[in-house]
């Protein structure tokens, strides 16, 4: 997949473009449904498929005080978009100027001027431009003048008939329901970070060495608790892990900063400084305070065994 940063670097495909637009945070099953429709409609017309997305979530600029945590970083989002089979992704820098740009100017500059769009496929509730005044109706009207067709796609619901959306997935993740989030994502919720040095207690004192992950603050983390996860190293090797996300109440008073610690099952080695990917499979329990380190160790032994069982059942 070709990745272009900024509309000025984009070259309109000679055979015309079929375009979809959106933040595409998570690239969940609803997003994949829209992109699938885009590809299905583009193929018989001989059009190249293009996703237009943004380098950050627009809410971080428009309403930073209430911007939602993100399901994916930009690099991860681009990897997931590439997996959908689109020909290209154009990443638009989203800043104050872009936030104040009218929907009409966005269409003229990006869809018509930069990409020569012949087909635009978006979700029916899609909004864009200053004040969110752009919608399917505006795209349809401008398409009639500029020579592109607009299709508004209904986002299919899940098995319970509820809409698949990034907002709903964030709520599931925040509640610790990573199994429910997986059903809507079509994959495990994954976070990425760098292994940093922690307090050194896990291996030396408790007998369970951990890799402590520093994750970008804007990324959506699950509710605090103990999880079964898949841990992937830079070389692509994957390891089962029992993961603690929390404030270590057995050793710290209330108010301690949360820490993400992964104990790799059956692994020994130096992970410091490595980037890592952590895919959340199942929440095993809430975080608890124990009366002694020995009681915590007994519980950790149980957690490790349960994590192994959950990962064996997952097998993904």
| Catalytically active residues, by annotation | 261
Distance (Å) of CA 156 to CA 35, 138, 170, 282: 13, 23, 18, 25
Under a CB-based contact definition with an 8 Å cutoff, are residues 284 and 310 in contact? yes
CA distances from 284 to 176, 228, 249, 281, 287 (A): 10, 7, 17, 10, 10
CA dihedral (196, 198, 200, 201) in degrees, to 10, reads: -140
Q: What is the DSSP letter of 207?
A: S
Q: What is the DSSP string of 86-130?
A: -SEEEEE---HHHHTS-HHHHIIIIIIIIT-EEEEEEETT--BSG
Instruction: Report CA Rg, the chain.
Output: 22
C-alpha span between 135 and 129 (Å, rounded)? 9
Cα 23 to the center of its chain, rounded Å: 10
Confirm if 272 and 193 have CB atoms less than 8 A apart.
no
- For 54-96, the three-class secondary structure string (H helix, E strand, C coil) is ECCCCHHHHCHHHCCCECCCHHHHHHHHHCCCCCEEEEECCCH
Query: CA 133 to CA 6: how far, in whole Å?
Result: 22
């Amino acid at each position: 997949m070709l990745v272009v940063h900024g509309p000025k670097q984009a070259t309109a495909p000679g055979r015309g473009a079929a375009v979809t637009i959106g933040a595409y945070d998570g690239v969940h099953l609803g997003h994949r449904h829209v992109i699938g429709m885009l590809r299905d409609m583009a193929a018989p017309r001989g059009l190249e498929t293009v996703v237009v997305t943004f380098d950050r979530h627009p809410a971080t600029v428009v309403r930073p005080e209430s911007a939602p945590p993100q399901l994916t970083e930009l690099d991860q989002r681009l990897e997931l978009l590439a997996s959908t089979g689109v020909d290209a992704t154009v990443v638009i820098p989203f800043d104050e100027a872009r936030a104040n740009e009218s929907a009409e100017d966005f269409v003229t500059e990006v869809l018509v001027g930069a990409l020569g769009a012949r087909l635009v496929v978006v979700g029916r509730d899609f909004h864009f431009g200053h004040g969110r005044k752009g919608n399917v109706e505006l795209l349809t009207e401008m398409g009639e003048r500029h020579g592109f067709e607009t299709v508004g796609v209904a986002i299919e619901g899940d098995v319970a008939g509820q809409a698949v959306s990034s907002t709903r997935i964030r709520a599931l993740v925040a509640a610790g329901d990573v199994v429910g989030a997986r059903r809507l994502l079509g994959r495990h919720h994954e976070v990425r970070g760098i292994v940093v040095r922690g307090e050194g207690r896990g291996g030396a004192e408790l007998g369970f060495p951990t890799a402590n992950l520093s994750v970008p603050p804007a990324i959506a983390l699950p509710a605090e608790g103990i999880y079964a996860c898949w841990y992937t190293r830079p070389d692509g090797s994957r390891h089962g892990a029992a993961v603690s996300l929390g404030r270590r109440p057995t050793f710290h008073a209330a108010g301690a900063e949360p820490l993400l610690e992964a104990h790799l099952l059956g692994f020994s080695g130096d992970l410091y400084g490595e980037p890592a990917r952590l895919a959340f499979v199942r929440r095993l329990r809430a975080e608890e305070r124990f009366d002694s380190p020995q009681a915590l160790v007994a519980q950790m032994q149980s957690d490790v065994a349960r994590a192994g069982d959950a990962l064996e059942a997952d097998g993904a």
